Amino acid sequence: MTLSFDHLVHFVDEPKEVIKPLQNQGIYAVEGGVHEGRGTYNALSYFDLSYIEYLGTYDRELVAGAKHLHHSLIETVVNNKFKEGFVRFAARTTDIEGIAERLKEQGLSVNGPVPMNRKRPDGSIISWQLLYAGEGNDSLQLPFIIQWDDNDDARRQEQIEKGVIGNQPEKLEFAGVTFAVIDAEKTAEKWSRYLGLEVAEAYVDPELNAIVQVLTLAGGDLYFASPIGDGVVAKVLAEQGEFPFQVNFSGAKEPGTIGLFNGRYHFEK
């Protein structure tokens, strides 16, 4: 099974209003489009084919009142009471049916694939399939799986032509996502088994005051951080439970960490 990082979902109150603040911090973002009939819309920030989706609602009552598949992204958003911050991420595949079978064989609850689409600002339609999986007692939700109708090369070329890809600062790259977890080693081992990912060497992050276990994933690594004392990770666990809380970038002009829309943006040179 081959997976790549596809996108991180950052839920925000007003997606259209995140573009300017992001650009003020050197991050290029564009208006995405509307998920018609589902009550949501988005803005997007691409780093090649890995991107951040700034998801919001245009009809919160519709979203809250609808029946959502178990382990779905929107179920997580609703259960999180529409709070701003990072929610879930999607891993990309070209064999969504095969992954569904693999996850079922490992005893997971699986829903989908489900066909989806979105209308872009220019009126064109983009379409894909989603797969949701998890355990009954999940604290940290597994990624949802996405398969785009177009292949990677076609999507990249189209997004370049539309001016969506290729406008970030020259060397800025998406490096991955950090999750606050109770036990980094156990979580990494479990996700490695489910998703077929390689476990890298653990290290201590003094800024987070946490031990960090890494899973390598093409397009953006996964960092699982467990607290070794008071600090950022301990605070996230106390206030939110196990959740993604930080997005990481490499190639920045200046290192540092900033807060945007209840999420941490960490930059390294």
Walking along the chain (269 residues) 10 residues at a time, the average pLDDT comes out as 95 97 95 89 97 97 91 94 98 98 96 90 89 88 97 95 91 97 98 97 97 98 99 98 98 95 97
Residues 17 and 72 reside in one and the same domain? yes
The reply to whether 89 falls in a domain is yes
The reply to whether 166 falls in a domain is no
Domain boundary, last residue among 133, 161, 189: 161
Determine contact, residues 11/85, Cβ cutoff 8 Å.
Answer: yes
Residue located via tokens 């949701």: 132
Helix %, strand %, coil % for the chain, to 5?
25, 40, 35
The reply to whether 17 falls in a domain is yes
Residues 13 and 140 reside in one and the same domain? yes
The reply to whether 54 falls in a domain is yes
The reply to whether 53 falls in a domain is yes
Residues 36 and 58 reside in one and the same domain? yes
Determine contact, residues 175/221, Cβ cutoff 8 Å.
Answer: yes
Residues 126 and 243 reside in one and the same domain? no
CATH number of the domain within which 263 lies: 3.10.180.10
Question: How many angstroms separate the CA atoms of 5 and 3, rounded?
Answer: 7
Residues 112 and 36 reside in one and the same domain? yes
So what's the pLDDT on residue 138?
Answer: 73
Residues 150 and 240 reside in one and the same domain? no
The reply to whether 263 falls in a domain is yes
Determine contact, residues 30/23, Cβ cutoff 8 Å.
Answer: no
Residues 146 and 178 reside in one and the same domain? no
The reply to whether 168 falls in a domain is no
The reply to whether 223 falls in a domain is yes
Domain containing 236 equals 173-267
Question: How many angstroms separate the CA atoms of 50 and 19, rounded?
Answer: 17
Residues 152 and 247 reside in one and the same domain? no
Question: How many angstroms separate the CA atoms of 52 and 135, rounded?
Answer: 25
Amino acid at 203: Y
Domain boundary, last residue among 161, 182, 207: 161
So what's the pLDDT on residue 97?
Answer: 97
Residues 120 and 180 reside in one and the same domain? no
Nearest to 106 by CA among 142, 76, 147: 142
Residues 149 and 182 reside in one and the same domain? no
Count structural domains, the chain. Answer: 2
Residues 92 and 133 reside in one and the same domain? yes
So what's the pLDDT on residue 124?
Answer: 84
So what's the pLDDT on residue 121?
Answer: 80
Residues 139 and 180 reside in one and the same domain? no
So what's the pLDDT on residue 117?
Answer: 87
